Amino acid sequence: MRSSLVNRIPVGILGATGTVGQKFIVLLQDHPYFEIAELVASEKSAGQRYGDIVKWKQDVPVPASVATMKIKTTEDALSAKILFSGMDSSVAGPAETAYAEKGHVVISNSKNHRMDADVPLVIPEINADHLELVRKQKHSGAIITNSNCSTMFLAMTLAPLQAAFGIEAVHVTTMQAISGAGYPGVPSLDILGNVIPYIGDEEEKMETEPQKILGTLKNGGIEPAPFVVSAQCNRVAVVDGHTETLSIKFREKPSVNDVKRVLAGFSGLPQERKLPFAPVHPIIVTEQQDHPQPARDVWLERGMATIVGRIRPCPILDMKMVILGHNTVRGAAGAAILNGETYVELGYLES
């Protein structure tokens, strides 16, 4: 970790009034590298004080320094070089490109550019080297993305297993929290005492993003990892925390203990460099037979861990397990912040 940043780096928040934007604000309070300097939201909020117009849905108050900031729009010139983007996908595509063309480094949580050939889709424990892709981008700035929230915990679990045993196929069924849908998001009449067995576009993301993340940087592009994902995505009445059941087919057949050992021992660049948002243990293996559970485990490692339990043989593929993570922290705003930290740590900002 950079032992001290005498002057913190000013950053802007795009989509500042949305639920991801709010989470950026909560998580960046007192951040050792970054300091919130600018807030961008839609036209209709322009010029207003953030605290006056935001529909705040967090369980800590709006930080005082942020509450009084005036909201800017995408029309305004921004002075911060680094922009964390929680923009809605309906507008993020061209807006993020425009910021990158003006020289900004856009650390985005939006889906729009994730699968672009020259945009790194980064989980720094896994593929910090993919950041090199930004040098291929044709603008003076950069766009860096993190994965879909459900993909995050899947990719995190698969990465060490792929390295150790090779992965051929993964079945995944998700039980996803309502906070993943933003605000107003899921109507209560649709989810209270109910399950919705469909989330638009989610299965497609889970079936393609992991291969890019676990792919290999080669000839200036990413060669995707060659395994198959089959996803079934459901919304359940949970506020925070996506639970996923997996069944995995391996190239080399590990024992249950092999799998546990490899998962529990996983770490990467954020851990080596002790980045501020790095979980000490990116993967926690639980031995409690009815865990992981969102209501109990989602805040382990300050919401930055992937928790894996119930590792046991599968009579069809090879190994079954249950995984869990905090969808708006490790699965969204926290992921982007760790990407930002990695970007700074690796010296890209100065280069």
Residue 232, CA distances (Å) to 1, 45, 204, 207, 248 in order: 39, 37, 10, 10, 15
Site for a copy of itself contains 61 (CB under 8 A): yes
List the catalytic residue out of 31, 104, 149, 326.
Answer: 149
299 burial class (0-12, 13-18, 19+ CB within 10 angstroms)? middle
The letter for the amino acid at 180 is: G
- Tell me whether residue 12 or residue 210 sits nearer to a copy of itself (CB atom): 210
CB 260 within 8 A of CB 320: no
- Tell me whether residue 37 or residue 48 sits nearer to a copy of itself (CB atom): 48
Site for a copy of itself contains 26 (CB under 8 A): no
Q: How far is the CB of 293 from a copy of itself (least distance, A)?
A: 6
Q: How far is the CB of 24 from a copy of itself (least distance, A)?
A: 17
Q: Which of 49, 81, 261, 310 binds a copy of itself (CB under 8 A)?
A: 310
The letter for the amino acid at 272 is: E
Residue 45, CA distances (Å) to 39, 56, 235 in order: 11, 14, 31
- Between CA 98 and CA 77 the distance in angstroms is 11
- Tell me whether residue 97 or residue 247 sits nearer to a copy of itself (CB atom): 247
Site for a copy of itself contains 29 (CB under 8 A): no
Between helix 149-165 and helix 256-264 the angle, nearest 10°, is: 120
Q: Which of 113, 57, 120 lies closest to 89 in space, CA to CA?
A: 113
- Tell me whether residue 124 or residue 210 sits nearer to a copy of itself (CB atom): 210
Q: Residues in the chain, how many?
A: 351
End-to-end Cα spacing for the chain: 18
- Tell me whether residue 130 or residue 235 sits nearer to a copy of itself (CB atom): 235
Q: Is 149 a catalytic residue?
A: yes
Q: Is 281 a catalytic residue?
A: no
Q: How far is the CB of 265 from a copy of itself (least distance, A)?
A: 19
Q: What string marks each residue from 190 to 219 as x (binds a copy of itself by CB under 8 A) or -?
A: xxxxxxxxx--------x------------
The letter for the amino acid at 119 is: V
List the catalytic residue out of 104, 171, 242, 281.
Answer: 242
3-state SS class at 218: strand
Name which of residues 225 to 284 contact a copy of itself (CB under 8 A). 228-230, 232, 234, 236-239, 241, 243, 245, 247, 249
3-state SS class at 169: strand
Q: How far is the CB of 163 from a copy of itself (least distance, A)?
A: 21
Between helix 149-165 and helix 202-213 the angle, nearest 10°, is: 40
Q: Return the active site residues.
A: 149, 242
* Residues at the contact surface with a copy of itself, assessed by CB under 8 A: 19, 56-61, 169-171, 173, 175, 178-179, 183-198, 207, 228-230, 232, 234, 236-239, 241, 243, 245, 247, 249, 289-300, 309-310, 314-317, 320, 322
